[in-house]
Amino acid sequence: MSGTPRQILGDRLRDALKAAGFDPVRGDVSASADMRFGDYQSNAAMVLAKEKKSNPRQIAADILSRLDVRGISAAPEVAGAGFLNFRLESEFLDSALGALAADPRLGVATAKIPQKILLDFSSPNVAKPMHVGHIRSTILGDCLARIARFLGHEVITDNHIGDWGTQFGKVIYGWKHFLDREALARDAIAELVRLYREVNRMEETDEVVRRVAREELVKLQAGDAENLAIWKETVELSWREFEKLYGLLDIRFDERLGESAYNDALAPLCEELQRRGIARESEGALCIFYPGIPALAEKPAIIRKSDGGFLYATTDLATIEYRLKHWRPDAIWYVVGAPQALHFQQIFAACRMMGIEANLVHIAFGSILGEDRKIMKTRSGENVGLAEVLHEAVDRARKMIAARQEGLTPEALESIAETIGIGAVKYAELSQNRHTDYVFSWEKLLALDGNTAPYLQNAYVRIRSIFRRGEVGADPGAAIRISVPAERLLAIKLLQYAETVPVVLEDFRPNILANFLYELANTYHSFYEACPVLKAEPEVRASRLLLSELTARILSHGLSLLGIRCPEKM
RNA sequence: GCACCCGUAGCUCAGUGGAUAGAGCACCGGACUUCUAAUCCGAUGGUCGCUGGUUCGAUCCCAGCCGGGUGCGCCA
């Protein structure tokens, strides 16, 4: 007998439905929201009663008479309008937790059909600092990559950085005329931003600067060696700055193919699309129209400007073509903000017209708003830098720990502070439904109390402390002895990890996992208050040690899927 | 004008057809000679924007409306 309680009960229920002559598709079982209604419940009888226009309680009784859940659940009761309520038996909990303890995957099955997934996220712009607006794509994308890999998918992460664009005319002009090498060495992006802003300001009043900056851009695009070298250096310097933050965030990419990688593909792509009749000229520009799609009927995508220049949409289409040719992925996932929904609708529709069959998904997320409830945008100049947020988070965590833990080496203190501070920032993002817009607040991102990463980490630390203090390990073969409700709740929660992780990818919602881990930590904290571990009688002690050990493993593992680490002390 | 997202406790948010809608923060009352109190236990707090519809059952699905955000032919 293997699988989660939900699977096992579901299988048994489907057997009973089949035997009773009902459609087994209706045989779904879910965890009960309320303990009074058992641990698991099914509303199959009510669904079937609707279809057959008959009495749900009678159907429930029919199902019950054919249902064999011996060894798993007590005989279910029919309740309310026709619910079947299951209550897991102690023997089942014991054997299921034994299996969990022996399973390195903690019960989580791999995907039935492993996919090759190209995952596009983060994508900062060169010569600009990453700000809090980049947080969601970066953290969400990394988390989805971790979870997809754990579930057995092949994932290629690609950071599609903004390394090409009109801003380089200004940056190159500034570089040539008033670059401060020392400042560049100190903080490359700050210096590049200064150059950009300086030139921008000069252009407002100086015709010549505007003209020369534009010429620098044209020279760059034409392959001028000097400008190309400057451009390349700005890209590398920027990347090094980004890597500091990615390092702090514990995030790595397999590929870093920026927009510039597709420059040579843009003109041929446009010609091909025009030749195939997918794109046609309109008012001097080359456009893709969507007459077959009502929502896009009035919204063509421009892929070549009337001056011959290419756009964002062109690069994205060329990027898809390259990715398909190069990696042959089953799916491409874009972790990009909701404001770009229309853009992706257009791009994906164009892909279908081109005959592309890969599963293209825009994993949209809500915007981070400023105090005025307007989207925080780069040009507002009011942006809070991502680096500032991360450093502030680590600072706050460091103060908190220093006040509680004495005798830590500076290195240990720093390591814990990073684990706690960065974890708090990541959790604040991941624990929230991705569609929700929210107003940026330091307090929200840096909170260390309540439903936060430190709360989950604390549960883990308490467990490690038990094992340190008791100088024991858990016996994975120990029998689970349930004597009080807190133990039972914890045991069932542990089994539900396997039911939770795969659901995250159904709609790309890490907050489902975050919420589960919060509930697990909460359940453990209650258990911790109610159930002494080390002082318990030998059999109970062994059982509680095993429950604790499993909790620690799942907390640590679940947090690692969110990209968050666990300290041993805090 | 068209399209997408959102509207749930004082505040911030979970909850995408099931039973009496949940957390955190804030506020109030308890629990540290105890395995880490970054914790636990309890109290207070709701016309789930409004109106209809579908359903045995709707915060959830459908229609309309109100309110907020965002996007929409030559930025990325």
Whether the beta carbon of A444 falls within 7 A of nucleic chain B: the reply is yes
Please write the tens of the pLDDT for every residue from A447-476.
999 999 999 999 999 999 999 999 999 999
- Per-residue model confidence (pLDDT) at position A163: 95
Domain limits, CATH 3.30.1360.70, in chain A: 5-88
Percent of chain A residues topping a pLDDT of 90: 83
Tell which CATH classification among 3.30.2270.10, 3.30.70.1150, 3.30.1360.70, 3.20.190.10 matches the domain A5-88: 3.30.1360.70
Nucleotide nearest to A56 (CA to C1'): B56
Angle at A193 (CA atoms; ends A191, A213), nearest 5 degrees = 105
Tokens matching residue A372: 């005025």
Domain limits, CATH 1.10.730.10, in chain A: 453-561
At A35, is the pLDDT very low, low, confident or very high (cuts 50, 70, 90)? Answer: confident
> Is residue A1 predicted with pLDDT exceeding 70?
no
- Per-residue model confidence (pLDDT) at position A371: 64
- Per-residue model confidence (pLDDT) at position A27: 85
Q: What is the DSSP letter of A153?
A: -
Query: Between these two residues, A227 and A371, which has the higher pLDDT value?
Result: A227
- Per-residue model confidence (pLDDT) at position A383: 73
- Per-residue model confidence (pLDDT) at position A372: 64
The fold adopted by the segment(s) A453-561 is Isoleucyl-tRNA Synthetase; Domain 1 (1.10.730)
> Is residue A5 predicted with pLDDT exceeding 60?
yes
Please write the tens of the pLDDT for every residue from A505-527.
999 999 999 999 999 999 999 99
Q: Which of A150-164, A241-255, A359-373 has the lowest mean pLDDT?
A: A359-373
Task: Give the residue from A100, A115, A103, A186 showing the smallest Cα distance to A152.
Answer: A115
Whether the beta carbon of A413 falls within 7 A of nucleic chain B: the reply is no
Q: Calculate the angstrom distance between C1' of B67 and CA of A135.
A: 29
Q: Which of residues 27-86 of A touch strand B (CB under 7 A)?
A: 32-34, 36-38, 41, 43, 46-47, 49-50, 56, 79-81, 83, 85
At A33, is the pLDDT very low, low, confident or very high (cuts 50, 70, 90)? Answer: confident
- Per-residue model confidence (pLDDT) at position A377: 54
Whether the beta carbon of A461 falls within 7 A of nucleic chain B: the reply is yes
- Per-residue model confidence (pLDDT) at position A373: 65
Question: Which H or E run contains A29?
Answer: none
Q: Calculate the angstrom distance between C1' of B18 and CA of A96.
A: 28
Nucleotide nearest to A125 (CA to C1'): B76
Mean per-residue pLDDT for A65-72?
Answer: 93
- Per-residue model confidence (pLDDT) at position A382: 59
Question: Which H or E run contains A426?
Answer: helix A410-430
Whether the beta carbon of A501 falls within 7 A of nucleic chain B: the reply is no
> Is residue A111 predicted with pLDDT exceeding 70?
yes
SS (H, E, C) A67-95: CCCCCCECCCEEECCCEEEECECHHHHHH
Mean per-residue pLDDT for A436-441?
Answer: 83
> Is residue A380 predicted with pLDDT exceeding 50?
no
Residue A117 phi/psi, 5° resolution? -120, 130
Q: How far is A106 from A302, CA to CA, in rounded Å? A: 49
Give CA separation, A321 vs A118, A279, A326, A480, in Å: 12, 16, 8, 55
Whether the beta carbon of A454 falls within 7 A of nucleic chain B: the reply is yes
Give CA separation, A146 vs A139, A250, A399, in Å: 11, 12, 31
Query: Rounded to two decimals, what is the model's pTM?
Result: 0.96
- Per-residue model confidence (pLDDT) at position A379: 39
